Structure 1
Amino acid sequence: MLKCGQVFHWPAFLFGESFIGLHVSSQLKKLHEIIDPVAEEMGYEIVRIAMVNSATGGDVTLQIMAERPDGTMLIEDCEKLSREISVIMDVEDPIAGEYVLEVSTPGVDRPLTRRKDFENYTGYEAKIELSVPEDGRRRYRGLLQGVTDDLVQIKVDGEVYAVDFDNIHRAKLVLTDELLAAASRKQ
């Protein structure tokens, strides 16, 4: 099944080796090894790969979020990438059993999974959740201030916090008027 649009929930496990998150399954690493080169050859960047089980325990969905290097992604791009990924997945057969393939854009209130995401969205509001609390704190909501070395800077209530990129469990942009205005300028 092909969907090109936003995905609004966080799956149980996600991200590849070069993405945030401490615990990466070997299956997701294998999927990145298969899918990333296909996407790159076509001029796309993978933002996130996730395997999500349905609430009823039936179908498994392979969710792939991708974009062009300029941050855009059209429905036609999703369709092209989906067709190519389908071919390579049929050949490699890395998932036991049946699954649904879902290729989408990251959406406006996108997940932040790569260091460059935190840089590209400096000045925008984000939510960050850590795997392990730092200085007694696990969650942050504030304005991104960029990345220095492996530390993501986020300004919360006037104070700037530096959190270890490798300790980020999940992060996403917060849907604000400023973010919507910036997204509409991109189109």
Structure 2
Amino acid sequence: MSSKITEKTEELVRPILTELNLELVDIEFEKEGKNWFLRVFIDKEGGVDIEECGQVSEQLSEKLDDTDPVTFPYFLEVSSPGAERPLKKPTDFEKNLGNNVYVKLYEPLDGAKEYEGVLKSFENNIVTLEVKVKSRKREVTIPYDKIAKARLAVSFN
């Protein structure tokens, strides 16, 4: 059910974002406590502001009301992905070379399912991270199709 709702939401929000020169980062439809939330994350070079989020929310809300893909009460939230933006597509990795990232794998690689480090390269569907193990740095290569989740990671070094 939730994948049908996120697909329909994407179909409805794309033309709005194209018109406003904004990028769709992610869509989530999930239950928290007893409430359902439809979250749309948008961005652009330099970040989005509250007015842009409000504009998208207003236009999308009208379209959702017209097509009614969700037949029960929910909250619509349109926001920026924030500092720990998810990396969903190969282009997200290409755009974030040199940044600190967190990667969670479907299955362990070299004994670990989670890595955090500097994104050194993304070539031929292979992600290369420079990770710190105690005081040493080493490179880890991860096949893109083994990544369950990835996001930018705020570093406090």
TM-score bucket of the superposed structures, by smaller chain: 0.7 to 0.9
The answer to whether residue 50 in structure 2 is matched with residue 75 in structure 1 is yes
Q: In percent, how many aligned pairs have the same letter? A: 30
Q: Any unmatched runs of 5+ in structure 2?
A: none
Report 1:3-82 matches (<5 A). 25-55=3-33, 58-68=34-44, 70-82=45-57
CA contact (8 A) 2:5 2:29 kept: no
Q: Deviations over 1:109-166 (max 9, x none)?
A: 2222222222222112111001233454321111111311322221123322232323
Asked if the contact 1:47/1:106 (under 8 Å) is kept, the reply is yes
Which sections of structure 1, spanning at least 5 residues, go unmatched? 1-23, 179-187
Higher strand share: 2
- Any idea what SS the aligned residue of 1:97 has? coil
Q: Is the alpha carbon distance of 1:151 and 1:92 closer, same or farther for their aligned partners in structure 2, counting shifts above 3 Å? A: farther
Larger radius of gyration: 2
Number of aligned residues:
152
| AA in 1 matched with 2:102 | K
**Aligned partner letter, 2:148:** H
**RMSD (Å) for aligned C-alpha atoms:** 2.1
The aligned counterpart of 1:111 is 86
1:116 and 1:71 map into 2 onto residues whose CA distance is 17
Q: Secondary structure at the match of 1:32?
A: helix
Secondary structure of 1:61 counterpart: strand
Please tell me the residue identity of whatever aligns with 1:172. Answer: R
Distance 1:177 1:138 in 2: 22
Aligned partner of 2:30: which letter? V
Whether contact under 8 Å (1:47, 1:114) holds in the other structure is no
